[in-house]
Structure 1
Amino acid sequence: MRDMRKKFEFSAADKKLVKEAVQELEQKTAGEMVVYFARDSDSYLMACWKLAGIFGVLFLALIATLSYLWLLPASIGILFTCLIGIGTTTLGFAIPYFIHTLRVSFTPDSVVSHRVLTKARDIFLQEEIFNTSDRIGILIYISELEHQVQVLGDSGINAKIQQEDWNEVLGLVIQGIKANHPAKGIASAIKKCEELLLANDFVNVVKPDNELSDDMRIEE
């Protein structure tokens, strides 16, 4: 899912709002929830090399064209041409290196989506969301740079809840971000998860004390 971009910072009140939503879900249902906000899901440095190559090729094409048309000044020698070429290529690398959003723009959407999903799955394992009774953990993963959100449910939940239902959860997160209230959007998404769990008979039963921390994870 796409369409979000700002350098979001979460206040103490925002974190409290999300934590309370997680706690309410876990009090009313048998599920466990983790919210993870990542600044990015990959470095996308290949985009830097890609743009460097484009700049280099364009420079060579320009030199070749000027030379063919006898428009290349005689004062421009091979050494000077090489230095300018190296500088142009370096500039092509440097621009996306320092402008992170440009790296994403020069990376195919399919690659970006795959990187986000891969990191979301890594976080699922890192946070041990799989290690809950009855395999009913949920991860809401938000990646700021790529403007994407992933919701991953463990096997116990995915046996009953369909992708269309998770899409509604994604939509609530994105709505909150578009409105510049990401914490409220996340809290609404958690509430929707709670409704989905209850509707599919994942009611609160006797379970171990809080298996996963309720605090929102935020990358700096």
Structure 2
Amino acid sequence: MRKKFEFSEADKKQVKEAIQALEQKTAGEMVVYFARESDSYLMACWKLSSIFGAIFLTLIATLSYLWLLPASVSVMTICLTAIGTTAIGFAIPYFIHTLRVSFTPDEIVSHRVLTKARDIFLQEEIFNTTDRIGILIYISELEHQVQVLGDSGINAKIEQEDWNEVLGLVIQGIKANKPAQGIASAIGKCEDLLLANDFVNVVKPDNELSDDMRIEE
């Protein structure tokens, strides 16, 4: 099992204060969600299992063709060994999560991360804000990927290139082993984007979305 990344209480407080600062100065609402993984990627287990099985059977076939297979090796032994080999191929990525991602095409991984980010957007009801100006910063630990999703009211003015700058700050902070600082900087960038596009603070209802960072266990 991989070691889980942990946020201290100080880290959570830093992120929460950055969100509160954004919401005090702008009309936006912010949610930060830290996911352990965006998918189980179990197909990678079957893929590696098939590879192990194919290699073993190819080896047996080659040894048999070259008359190098010991006569004492029975068909039952070959079958049981083949089953054991494929089981090992399945078990290795099952217990080593990062290996599952390695054996999954990059485009599929990115799609799974984006899909879960969109699910979280709906689950947290980020769409249910005044003037549709909610923002989600979604971080997926296993895949080392970040998604920034803005609601329709914001995306009408802010381009994807701007969101790329935001996620870049998150990644920079994680690489420097200062994830909370990176997330806080990204939130500050969102604040700048909102203000630059006239999403200034207005009289709005009570805090529509909790400012606490969501962290999967």
Q: Which residue of 2 aligns with 1:25?
A: 22
Q: Aligned to 1:134, which of 121, 131, 134?
A: 131
Residues 1:6 and 1:142: Cα distance change in structure 2 (over 3 Å): farther
1:146 is the counterpart of 2:143: yes
Q: Which residue of 1 aligns with 2:195?
A: 198
| Counterparts of 2:197 and 2:215, CA distance in 1 | 30
Q: Which residue of 1 aligns with 2:68?
A: 71
Q: Aligned to 1:189, which of 175, 186, 198?
A: 186
Unmatched segments (≥5 aa) in structure 1: none
Measure how far apart 1:6 and its partner are.
7.0
User: For the Cα contact (< 8 Å) 1:36–1:141, is it kept in 2?
Assistant: yes
TM-score (norm 1): 0.97
Q: Aligned to 1:90, which of 81, 87, 92?
A: 87
SS of equivalent to 1:140: strand
Measure how far apart 1:53 and its partner are.
0.4
Unmatched segments (≥5 aa) in structure 2: none
Measure how far apart 1:40 and its partner are.
0.2
User: Match of 1:52, as an amino acid?
Assistant: S
Q: Which residue of 2 aligns with 1:11?
A: 8
User: Match of 1:74, as an amino acid?
Assistant: A
User: For the Cα contact (< 8 Å) 1:17–1:187, is it kept in 2?
Assistant: yes
User: For the Cα contact (< 8 Å) 1:26–1:32, is it kept in 2?
Assistant: yes
User: Match of 1:30, as an amino acid?
Assistant: A
User: For the Cα contact (< 8 Å) 1:36–1:217, is it kept in 2?
Assistant: yes
Q: Aligned to 1:125, which of 116, 122, 127?
A: 122
Per-residue CA deviation, residues 11-40 of structure 1 (Å, 9 max, x unaligned), is 000000000000000000000000000000
1:109 is the counterpart of 2:103: no
User: For the Cα contact (< 8 Å) 1:6–1:144, is it kept in 2?
Assistant: no
Q: Which residue of 1 aligns with 2:161?
A: 164
Percent of pairs with identical residues: 87
User: For the Cα contact (< 8 Å) 1:136–1:156, is it kept in 2?
Assistant: yes
